[in-house]
Amino acid sequence: MSKLEDIVSLCKRRGFIFPGSDIYGGMAGTWDFGPLGVSLKKKIMDEWWKFFVEDREDTYGIDAAILMNPRTWVASGHTATFADPLVECKECKSRFRADKIAEGINESVTTEEFLNTHTKCPVCGQENWGPIRKFNMMFTTHVGAVLPDDDAETAEKNVAYLRPETAQGIFTNYKNVVDTFYPDLPFGLAQQGKAFRNEISPRDFILRDRECSQMEIEYFVNPNTWEENFETMRELQHEFLEDVIGLPKEKLHELEVPAEDRAHYSKRTIDFMFNYPNGEEELMGLAYRTDFDLQNIARESGKSMEYRDKVTNETFVPHVIEPSIGVERLVLAVLSTAYFEDEINGEKRTVLKLPENLAPYKFCVSPLLKNKPELVEKAKEVYNTLRKKYGNVTWDDSGNIGKRYRKQDEIGTPKCIVVDFDTLEDDTVTIRDRDTTEQIREKIANL
């Protein structure tokens, strides 16, 4: 089993993921994707978009603004309840999320319940706590011209939030899409985009960060059919995660969330859990959200969210099945599945066995020797041909051939193609396989 530190280290060393604002000493809970990381992340997001939007007739994509009218968050309940229990150590003033430092309590813990756990401060070791306070995790900002000497009321009027979930950008566009596309039920609206949560203690690399990307679908259904649609969505998630993204079945399992732990509006939720290097964590959620969100929007906006069935003329507010996945969580699941250390001819190597459809580069092309112009020229020819055909092909003529293989193994390039003196004679190249390290000869024309 790979260790999280090894993956973090490889990500930094090879240009997948860097700590955010590294040059200024960092910014907690933020991460920057480097050239290889953004390539991997984008491939994952593109596979999702293709699978759930482009390949389906019943799902439409949207891309809503991150800044939304603050009434969105009043309607959705985020203003009132999107909060974590914050507790402060009176000795050293450190602040923690209470349910993350004490055993056997959840987000709705009271001060008394927390004190009964006799938790010691993880920083100073004392047990001297202030009361539990609710800390709203939405980031606030001001929109328009707000000056430092404006009164509180003026400032308050201009408050906006960085969206804490992409879902509300979908719900608020439900009516727009119904009025322009007249879709039959069931239909889905899908969105990918950034969401922001002011986590009290971000941790575990990109698992719990303050800025993340989400991929969400709101699948609108006739309430009478929610159960069968829930099952369909559930099977589709498995197909996507296992067959398209290549996550192993045995590392993935479903957690049926019991009624007392579900959001109050959800009648059924399944958390898809994944075995990460640091233990089991939620990878994605599948929730039956009923008509909670559309009814909230109808109430707050005064506009009807009713849908009229074209055949029966029956009107009702659709119910919703929501698969929601964090992109960074999926990136980490892919990286930790791909990460292996093994030994080749007595030499230790690190290899990322990324699926071909996700690897940043499909091929690496290189001349056997850098100082032989005829080899370099021929190799460039092969490189340019493959780049035109596949796009994601890299060139490497640094160090010796063994070093190049090690480097390409570490960044997950499935095949290395080497041009040598035989190539000049018979137009064949060596193709070396990342996973088996086996080498074969192949005609250039067959690549």
User: Is 98 among the residues that bind Zn ion (CB under 5 A)?
Assistant: no
- Please choose, out of 83-91, 193-201, 360-368, 437-445, the segment that lies near Zn ion by the rule CB under 5 A: 83-91
User: Which amino acid appears at position 406 of this protein?
Assistant: R
What is the rounded CA–CA span in Å between residue 242 and residue 244? Answer: 6
Shortest approach of Zn ion to residue 28 CB, angstroms?
18
Q: Which is nearer to Zn ion, 111 or 428 (CB)?
A: 111
Structure tokens of 49?
């978009």
- Please name which of 341, 382, 273 lies closest in space to residue 1, comparing C-alpha atoms: 341
Shortest approach of Zn ion to residue 8 CB, angstroms?
27
Reading phi first (left if > 0) and then psi (alpha if -120 to 50, else beta), residue 277 is in alpha
Q: Which is nearer to Zn ion, 66 or 115 (CB)?
A: 115
User: Is 92 among the residues that bind Zn ion (CB under 5 A)?
Assistant: yes
Q: Which is nearer to Zn ion, 93 or 389 (CB)?
A: 93
User: Is 344 among the residues that bind Zn ion (CB under 5 A)?
Assistant: no
User: Is 124 among the residues that bind Zn ion (CB under 5 A)?
Assistant: yes
Residue from 10, 40, 75, 89 that binds Zn ion (CB under 5 A)? 89
Structure tokens of 283?
């990878």
What is the rounded CA–CA span in Å between residue 60 and residue 232? Answer: 17
- Please choose, out of 16-24, 27-35, 94-102, 429-437, the segment that lies near Zn ion by the rule CB under 5 A: 94-102
Dihedrals phi, psi of 108, to nearest 5 degrees: -95, 25
Applying CB under 5 A, the site for Zn ion has a residue count of 7
- Please name which of 325, 250, 247 lies closest in space to residue 287, comparing C-alpha atoms: 325
Q: Which is nearer to Zn ion, 201 or 350 (CB)?
A: 201
- Please choose, out of 20-28, 42-50, 86-94, 185-193, the segment that lies near Zn ion by the rule CB under 5 A: 86-94
Residue from 17, 121, 215, 286 that binds Zn ion (CB under 5 A)? 121
Dihedrals phi, psi of 138, to nearest 5 degrees: -80, 135
Q: Which is nearer to Zn ion, 97 or 262 (CB)?
A: 97
Q: Which is nearer to Zn ion, 95 or 268 (CB)?
A: 95
User: Is 91 among the residues that bind Zn ion (CB under 5 A)?
Assistant: yes
Site for Zn ion in 262-321 (CB under 5 A): none
Structure tokens of 415?
């095949």
CA 353 to the chain's CA centroid: 19
Q: What is the rounded radius of gyration, in angstroms, for the C-alpha atoms of the chain?
A: 26
DSSP string, 35-59: HHHHHHHHHHHHHHHIIIIIT-TTE
- Please name which of 50, 35, 30, 37 lies closest in space to residue 352, comparing C-alpha atoms: 37
Q: Which is nearer to Zn ion, 97 or 406 (CB)?
A: 97
Q: Which is nearer to Zn ion, 108 or 128 (CB)?
A: 128
User: Is 159 among the residues that bind Zn ion (CB under 5 A)?
Assistant: no
- Please choose, out of 65-73, 93-101, 327-335, 403-411, the segment that lies near Zn ion by the rule CB under 5 A: 93-101
User: Is 127 among the residues that bind Zn ion (CB under 5 A)?
Assistant: no
Shortest approach of Zn ion to residue 142 CB, angstroms?
34
334: helix, strand or coil: helix
What is the rounded CA–CA span in Å between residue 90 and residue 87? Answer: 9
Binding site for Zn ion (CB under 5 A): 89, 91-92, 94, 121, 123-124
